[in-house]
């Protein structure tokens, strides 16, 4: 590690940072946690406690966890004010609460009414990039799916009023009617008396345990998504005994995100992260409205009132090449406060970071290497080390020795420079566009967030009435 006098905190060069760690009950314990390993490497802890659930590592200027420089001054002082974003690493060993983050108007109201539980008056949209396989519940299922689950699982149905179920079944095709029915249904479920929900949860778990056992003979083959849903409920119930929030997978989309994939959660969208590790970037706020799967303060009334009730999950995107180099992948939300880039340098290569007109911070997330710039500043890159790049910092070049056995990767966050070209969208932004089934043909424009770069197919029919797509006959299913 370079000596402290090597770094001038008032220079234009990269400045090493000391992030802040948070331990919550849902974190991963000991050295299994990426947060713990990063904290050890960055020098903010001397040893890792094997019993401590290391949950979050913060890099930013938020007063609840201000990042400092090695001379003891704060990042806020180096920046000359607050950064508009908060950059995090999350290590989730078990589920976080069922929650949503308020919009700007809602945040101001909640902060004024209840400053103890809502410390900020700012909104908190957030972007997540998976570092490991990551499980999350994001956004409401389509109402048609929920209706099927109500019919199939009588225990879930018993936690919902007859009026709400009727609204669900009779909502019709209009989107506004569906949203109104979904709000009634969610409010009814969240308001179910504790005695009823606890009893029905026990009955549901008993049945699901029997169905998932090896000796249970299914009357028909169970679809994989139903098996995943059942096992998710069993695991959540084990983590939070007696909490009816374990039935949340009946209401929310249950997603498995691969490393390198990302998603965006806008304000007023329900979600609950279940397990895995991610990079997370958000507006500079720590407001959370919770309603289940937590021993913390629950605010069901405010959560029910604030949600958009958009249906379908967020877009999942593996990033877009940026600055003419496919080793630089940008993840761009439709909000101006933040944007994330994942930059990869392979053994035997070097890569120069884009010079940005705004301040940025980065975390080394994988591998090792070194840096250089026109001022001759050399830094050793190791997983967990964090740096601040002033807006006028000379271009920094990463390099990896050819003898290394893996790439160097860093995650860099800054104010959004491509807000007019987002790569991600929430369920509300996507609107009524839904996955139409396994055999659906792509119709997205390549210029939309959901586009896949393919043109719309040419669909005709031959003399026998068979469908012909781009000149190829489609066989009957």
pLDDT(354) > 90: yes
Straight-line distance from the first to the last Cα atom of the chain, in angstroms, rounded to the nearest whole number: 63
Residue 125 pLDDT class (50, 70, 90 cuts):
very high
Q: Residue 474: what pLDDT?
A: 42
Q: Which residues pair with 341 in a beta bridge?
A: 330, 412
- When the pLDDT of each residue in the chain is averaged and rounded to a whole number, the result is 88
Residues 399-446 have pLDDT tens digits of: 999 999 999 999 999 999 999 999 998 777 765 444 333 233 343 433
* Structure tokens that stand for 91 in this block: 């290590």
Banded model confidence at residue 2, pLDDT cuts 50, 70, 90: very low
Q: Which of 5-14, 126-135, 309-318, 416-425 has the lowest mean pLDDT?
A: 5-14
**pTM reported for the whole predicted model:** 0.86
pLDDT in tens, 360-379: 999 999 999 999 888 888 99
Judge whether residue 387 has pLDDT over 80. yes
Q: What is the mean pLDDT of residues 132-138?
A: 97
| pLDDT cut 90: percent of the chain above it | 79
Identify the weakest region by mean pLDDT among 112-121, 252-261, 452-461. 452-461
String of b and e for 73-99 (b: at least 16 CB within 10 Å)?
eebbebbeebbbbbbbbbbbbbbbbbb
Task: Give the relative orientation of helices 143-152 and 175-190 as an angle to the nearest 10 degrees.
Answer: 40
Determine the pLDDT at residue 42.
Answer: 95
Tokens standing for 226? 């139903």
Cα 88 to Cα 101: distance, rounded to the nearest angstrom:
16
Other Cβ atoms less than 10 A from the Cβ of 227: the count is 14
- Residue 211: the pLDDT is 85
Q: Which segment of 86-100, 221-235, 247-261 scores lowest on mean pLDDT?
A: 221-235
Tens digits of per-residue pLDDT, 17-62? 999 999 999 999 999 999 999 999 999 999 999 999 999 999 999 9
Which pLDDT tens digit goes with each residue over 269-320? Answer: 999 999 999 999 999 999 999 999 998 899 999 999 999 999 998 999 999 9
Q: Of residues 141, 290, 330, 409, which has the active-site annotation? A: 290
Q: Convert the pLDDT of each residue in 335-347 to its tens digit.
A: 999 999 999 999 9
Non-local CB neighbours of 267 within 8 Å, separated by 6+ positions: 100, 101, 102, 103, 104, 106, 123, 124, 125
Has 141 been annotated as catalytic?
Answer: no
């Amino acid at each position: 590690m370079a000596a402290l006098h090597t770094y001038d905190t008032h220079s234009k060069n990269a400045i090493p940072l000391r992030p802040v760690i948070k331990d919550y009950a849902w974190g991963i314990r000991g050295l299994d946690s990426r947060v713990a390993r990063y904290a050890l490497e960055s020098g903010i802890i001397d040893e890792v406690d094997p019993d401590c659930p290391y949950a979050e590592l913060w890099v930013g200027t938020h007063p609840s966890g201000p990042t400092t420089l090695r001379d003891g001054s704060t990042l806020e002082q180096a920046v000359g004010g607050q950064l508009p974003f908060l950059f995090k690493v999350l290590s989730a060993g078990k589920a976080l609460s069922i929650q949503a983050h308020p919009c700007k108007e809602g945040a101001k109201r909640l902060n004024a009414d209840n400053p103890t539980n809502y410390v900020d008056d700012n909104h908190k949209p957030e972007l997540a990039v998976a570092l490991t396989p990551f499980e999350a519940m994001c956004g409401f299922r389509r109402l048609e799916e929920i209706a099927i689950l109500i019919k199939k699982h009588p225990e879930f149905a018993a936690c919902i009023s007859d009026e709400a179920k009727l609204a669900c079944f009779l909502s019709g095709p209009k989107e506004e009617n569906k949203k109104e029915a979904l709000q009634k249904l969610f409010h009814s479920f969240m308001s179910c008396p504790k005695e009823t929900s606890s009893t029905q949860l026990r009955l549901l778990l008993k049945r699901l345990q029997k169905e998932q056992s090896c000796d249970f003979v299914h009357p028909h083959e169970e679809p994989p998504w139903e098996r995943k849903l059942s096992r998710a409920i069993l695991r959540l119930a084990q983590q939070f005994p007696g909490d009816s929030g374990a039935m949340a997978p009946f209401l929310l989309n249950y997603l498995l995100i691969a490393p390198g994939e990302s998603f965006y959660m806008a304000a007023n969208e329900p979600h609950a992260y279940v397990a895995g590790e991610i990079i997370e970037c958000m507006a500079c706020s720590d407001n959370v409205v919770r309603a289940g799967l937590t021993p913390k303060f629950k605010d069901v009334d405010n959560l029910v009132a604030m949600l958009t009730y958009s249906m379908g999950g967020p877009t999942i995107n593996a990033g877009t090449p940026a600055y003419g180099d496919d080793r630089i992948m940008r993840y761009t939300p439709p909000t101006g406060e933040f944007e994330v880039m994942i930059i990869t340098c392979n053994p035997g290569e070097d890569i120069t970071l884009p010079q940005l007109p705004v301040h940025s911070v980065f975390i080394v997330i994988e591998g090792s290497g070194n840096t250089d710039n026109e001022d001759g500043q050399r830094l050793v890159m190791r997983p967990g080390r964090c740096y601040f790049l002033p807006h006028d910092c000379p271009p920094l070049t990463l390099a990896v020795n050819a003898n290394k056995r893996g790439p160097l990767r860093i995650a860099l966050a800054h104010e959004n420079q491509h807000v007019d070209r987002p790569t991600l969208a929430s369920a509300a932004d996507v609107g009524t566009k839904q996955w139409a089934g396994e055999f659906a043909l792509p119709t997205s424009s390549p210029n939309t967030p959901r586009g896949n770069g393919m043109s719309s197919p040419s669909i005709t029919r031959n003399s026998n009435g068979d469908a012909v797509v781009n000149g190829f006959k489609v066989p009957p299913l």
